[in-house]
Amino acid sequence: MSQGQFISHCTADALKSAAQQLKSGTLVAFPTETVYGLGADATNADAVARIYAVKGRPADHPLIVHLADAQDISEWASEIPDYAIDLARSFWPGPMTLVLTRSELAPDFITGGQATVGLRVPDHTLALAFLNAFKAIGGKGVAAPSANRFGHVSTTTAKAVHEELGEYLAPEDLILDGGPSQVGVESTIIDCTGDAPRILRPGAISVEMIEAVTGVKVVNRDDVIRVSGSLESHYSPDAHVVLDGHPRPGDGLIALNDYPTPEGAIRLASPINNEDFARHLYEALREADAQGIEQVVVIQPEGDGIATAIRDRLKRAAAKG
């Protein structure tokens, strides 16, 4: 039976109460502009362990810490290069995670035993109100991966969180309904531990945007930092995902609206542009599973920016055996 309390009227009092429950060790799923997150007090080892249990997530897979304000990164990071400060000033609140050398505040159970920590200030009114309410009672940050089972399609509505995780949540856990996520794919993750930034996971903040703000060229390096969503197979529905194929009768189809629907194919989404594509991608993949569709053909969007992030997620969704 589904558990967890679903809160659709997120008043100031409700958010204050949710923050207090988070501080006491419960889990709180909350909306961000990218996807919904499953949050725990980032300094509470037992609460964070429950995130891993609810998600079925490997223990060495690090978590992103969500902060109320960019000023708070100095508590979590011991080294912050100038270009990282430029990025934070320009894109926070926003769909960007900065990976920095951790401070003593960032324990192994958050970082996956690495010397780095991922930090983000989300651009969502309800999320920021919740994070500020948590900060007001002494909270340092909220560890929050996407609110779905590990490797599955991320959730972009509170209803999807309930369907995906309800049976794994405890009665005291909360799901805050803040409407559908407006970006729809996870944040850009930027490694800021070297002399120049590098992208570890593409998102809405592009290479061009990073270079324009920092005046520093984005680099590639060979050393590996484990981050969320970096496995070869990830973001996978039960349906088999085929990229740029021709849908057969009974197949699902996701493509921009100028792509015609072949006879017998089941149209799952007709986004009008790449931003719309990102916004509805996960919802469409989840709808395929809800309809019991066995195969989904996705005609990938072209171009840079958010299209790069969409193709990254689709490549991982299609990698499932």
168's tokens: 């794994």
Q: What is the pLDDT of residues 202-218, one digit of tens each?
A: 999 999 999 999 999 99
pLDDT, averaged across the chain: 94
pLDDT at residue 167, as a whole number: 95
Q: Give the integer Cα–Cα distance in Å for 99 and 189.
A: 7
What is the token pair recorded at 79?
A: 């080294």
Buried b (16+ CB within 10 A) or exposed e, 259-280: eeeeeebbbbbbbeebbbbbbb
**pLDDT tops 70 at residue 179:** yes
What pLDDT sits at residue 226? 72
For the cut 60, the answer to whether the pLDDT of residue 321 exceeds it is: no
The pLDDT score that the predictor gives to residue 59 is 84
Tell me which of 182 and 57 has the higher pLDDT: 182
Q: Model confidence at 1, in pLDDT bands (50, 70, 90)? A: very low
> Residue 235: its pLDDT value, please?
80
Answer yes or no: is pLDDT of 230 > 70: no
Q: In the predicted model, is pLDDT for residue 26 greater than 80?
A: yes
Q: Is the pLDDT of residue 266 over 50?
A: yes
Residues in the chain: 321
Instruction: Over range 40-64, report the average pLDDT.
Output: 95
pLDDT tens-digit series, residues 129-174: 999 999 999 999 999 999 999 989 999 999 999 999 999 999 999 9
Q: Write down the pTM of the prediction.
A: 0.95
What pLDDT sits at residue 223? Answer: 66
Q: Which domains does the chain have, with CATH numbers?
A: 5-214 (3.90.870.10), 240-318 (3.40.50.11030)
pLDDT per position as a tens digit, 63-98: 999 999 999 999 999 999 999 999 999 999 999 999
Mean pLDDT, residues 239-249: 97
What's the pLDDT score for residue 175?
97
pLDDT higher than 60, residue 239: yes
Q: Residues 148-152: contacts with CB within 8 Å, 24+ apart?
A: 148/55, 149/55, 149/56, 150/55, 150/56, 150/57, 150/58, 150/61, 151/231, 151/233, 151/234, 151/235, 151/236, 152/235, 152/236, 152/237
Query: How confident is residue 229, by pLDDT bands cut at 50, 70 and 90?
Result: low
